[in-house]
Chain A
Amino acid sequence: MIADTIIFIFLIIGLLFNALGVLGLLRFPDVYTRLHASTKATTFGSIFLCLGVVVFAISQYLGTSDSQYLMVITHTIIAVFALAITNAAGSHAIARAAHRSGQKPDPVVVDKLTEAGL
């Protein structure tokens, strides 16, 4: 029962942050600020969704002591790490490619990368 409450709280937080990521993708002005919304908010939201899965598996494991649920826990944790690493690397690659192809940040107060001319 208490596990159900914790799972609901985790799912609500995760969905909230994922929804904010989508909203930021629509609201922000240029590609870099949109990447902020789509990487950070979705990583954090997905971590909470995965935490919900982990709590569910732990509660099932304690209730039934079926060792298959251990596999659910480890696979979910590996998925979280893969998600965090690939999200960071992918957003970095998109930002670098955008800057190299001439897509300058549009509302900007300082741009040291264009000044450096790399």
Chain B
Amino acid sequence: MIPFIVTAFVAFLFYLVLVVGSGSVLFWSWEEIIAGVIIGLVTGVIARKIFCRSENYRMLHPVRLISILIYICGPFLVELTKANLDVAYRVITGNVRPGIIRLHSGMKSDLALTMLAHSITLTPGTLSVDVDGKNHDLFIHVIHLDEGVEKKEAFEAGEIFSYMNIPAWIRRIAE
């Protein structure tokens, strides 16, 4: 029952976001709200086993949801900007020294590992290539390694980010 309610409510909210500005009840018209309720119920019946596959509802906690927004608008945006300026510099000068390194992610859950891999792909000159399923190590392609760094056996997750402590944020959100 809980998966059905969660899925239907999320689908209803998403439909409301998509049709905002259609009428006079706050921002919506009655027709769109009724259509949203029907669509939410149908989606809840169809997709409840896919949407709530892990049977674990810790991500519904409002503090986690708000901290996702703060994370995207704050630390992640800073790292994204820095990464793009860095890649733009390398495109113009052609000064690259690439390599694939091993990274101890230190994440326990799959969701946290996915978020870390996505953050790594979108931030500083790094691209996640593969994952070691046994101990949750990530293999990262780095576009520019400094001299001598490639001797190291494995990196810690915090070392490849420059300003913000991204792994601590992800651990706070998803674990």
Contacts and interface: CB of A to CB of B under 8 A. Distances in A.
Contacts of A17: 84, 88
Contacts of B125: 36
Given A32-B141, A39-B121, A110-B99, A118 B84 contact: no
B127 A108 contact: no
Interface in A38-90: 39-41, 43-44, 67-71, 74-75, 78, 84-85, 87-89
Nearest to A98: B129
B62 interface: no
B102 A70 contact: no
B122 A95 contact: no
DSSP class of A's interface residues: helix, strand, loop or mixed? helix
B139 A116 contact: yes
A91 B127 contact: yes
A44 B80 contact: yes
A101 to B, nearest CB: 13
A88 B76 CA distance: 14
Contact of A111 (B19, B91, B99): B99
Interface residues of B, number: 40
A118 to B, nearest CB: 6
B98 interface: yes
A105 B87 contact: no
A39, A88, A89: residue with the most chain B Cβ atoms closer than 10 Å: A88
Contact of B100 (A40, A74, A89, A112): A112
A33 B98 CA distance: 8
Given A99-B130, A111-B100, 20 more contacts: A17-B84, A28-B96, A40-B122, A41-B87, A44-B84, A67-B21, A68-B21, A71-B18, A74-B17, A91-B121, A92-B121, A96-B130, A99-B129, A105-B98, A105-B99, A109-B98, A109-B99, A110-B101, A116-B139, A118-B130
Interface of A: 17, 20-21, 23-24, 27-30, 32-33, 35-37, 39-41, 43-44, 67-71, 74-75, 78, 84-85, 87-89, 91-92, 95-96, 99, 105, 107-114, 116, 118
